Amino acid sequence: MAIQIESQIPIGNQDIRLDEIEIRLLLEGIYQYYGYDFRDYSFPSLRRRLWNRVRAEQLENISALQEKILHDESTLQRLLLELSVTLTSLFRDPSFYTSVRDSVIPHLKTFPFIRIWHVGCSTGEEVYSLAIMLQEAGIYDRCLIYATDMNPHVLQKAKDGIYSMERMKEYEKNYLASGGEGDLSDYYVSDSQNAIFNSRLRKKVVFAIHNLAVDRVFNEFNLIFCRNVLIYFNKPLQDRVHSLLYQSLSQQGVLGLGSMESLNLTPHQTCYKQVDHQSKLFRRIR
């Protein structure tokens, strides 16, 4: 006589979405095989971007994306572009640059040599904005700017300093609204399609790969821009990055965050004094 045994193991856990398991496996695979660590990125944003990549690759699910990435590095490179924060422009948020001109540059002028770290520089528009502002303040030659990103492809675009002419009218408005002292066109030459920024704006810039999730302090800085980067991380990774920024900032150094970012409830929030609330500028006081 056949005996029927009732399974005590549930067929599926309805509290966990299948794609969440797939995503965790994909991120672990990318970290173990390629060394890129996205495991502590904000999950809702990550899920959305990964599914965008699944559709773009004409695949059916995240597991299929994992298989393709682990066996084809070019697929990984396309994913890196999807996951990189590339929303940027010249003099983005002009009021921020106005505050830097008014409240930070006079402070920087007191130093004989100025080290600056531009974190998550993406395709470089905001690096050139900073270089132009320092040039107009007469201190660019005393500066060294480290512009870093985890993505080598966007870093190469930043190094090239070539941008579409279609956006120059918008950038000119941003430049003037930020307190620009001349014409933005003074800093680039144009062909029919592109604006090519002057090489002198790159002579004091070091473009380098740096991954906030795994890399460490590499210098001490008088000014750090880390704008609109932390919002893509979960709380443990945000805390790690805040500690990294604090350790990298000199006494009386200034930290600039994005409009949606804050020092509240971070490991070193009491170590800063607010310079400008609206523009999220803070000075390290201890």
- pLDDT higher for 5 or 70? 70
- The answer to whether position 252 is within a domain reads yes
pTM: 0.86
184 pLDDT above the threshold of 90: yes
Are 58 and 193 within one domain? no
Tell whether 89 is covered by a domain.
no
Report the side by side order of strands in the sheet with 188-190: 162-164, 194-197, 188-190
Torsions phi, psi for 259 (to 5 deg)? -65, -25
What percent of the chain is predicted at pLDDT more than 90?
A: 82
| Predicted local confidence at residue 16, as pLDDT | 59
Could you tell me if 156 and 55 lie in one domain? no
- 76 and 217 share one domain: no
With respect to residue 2, please indicate whether it lies within any of the assigned structural domains: no
Q: Percent of the chain, pLDDT > 70?
A: 94
Compute the distance between CA of residue 208 and CA of residue 202 in angstroms, rounded to an integer: 13
pLDDT digit string (tens) for 248-280?
A: 999 999 999 998 899 999 999 999 999 998 899
The 3-state DSSP class for residue 194 equals strand
Tell me: pLDDT of 136 over 60.
Answer: yes
pLDDT at 22: 95
pLDDT of residue 17: 84
Quote the CA–CA distance of 164 and 178 in Å, as a whole number.
21
Which residue, among 104, 145, 97, has the nearest Cα to 121 in the 3D structure?
145
What does the pLDDT look like over 215-238, one tens digit per residue? 999 999 999 999 999 998 999 999
Q: How confident is residue 158, by pLDDT bands cut at 50, 70 and 90?
A: very high
Which structural domain, as residue segments, surrounds residue 198?
94-284
> In angstroms, rounded to a whole number, what is the distance separating the alpha carbons of residues 45 and 83?
9
Q: Which of 83, 106, 124 is the last residue of a domain?
A: 83
Tens digit of each residue's pLDDT (9 = 90 or more) over 32-91: 999 899 999 989 889 999 999 999 999 999 999 999 999 999 999 999 888 876 678 999
Distance CA 238, CA 265 (A): 11
> Rounded mean pLDDT of the chain?
92
Half-sphere exposure in the Cβ direction for 196 (13 Å, CA):
7
For strands 221-226 and 114-118, give the pairing. Answer: parallel
The CATH number for 162's domain is: 3.40.50.150
Residue of higher predicted confidence among 1 and 271: 271
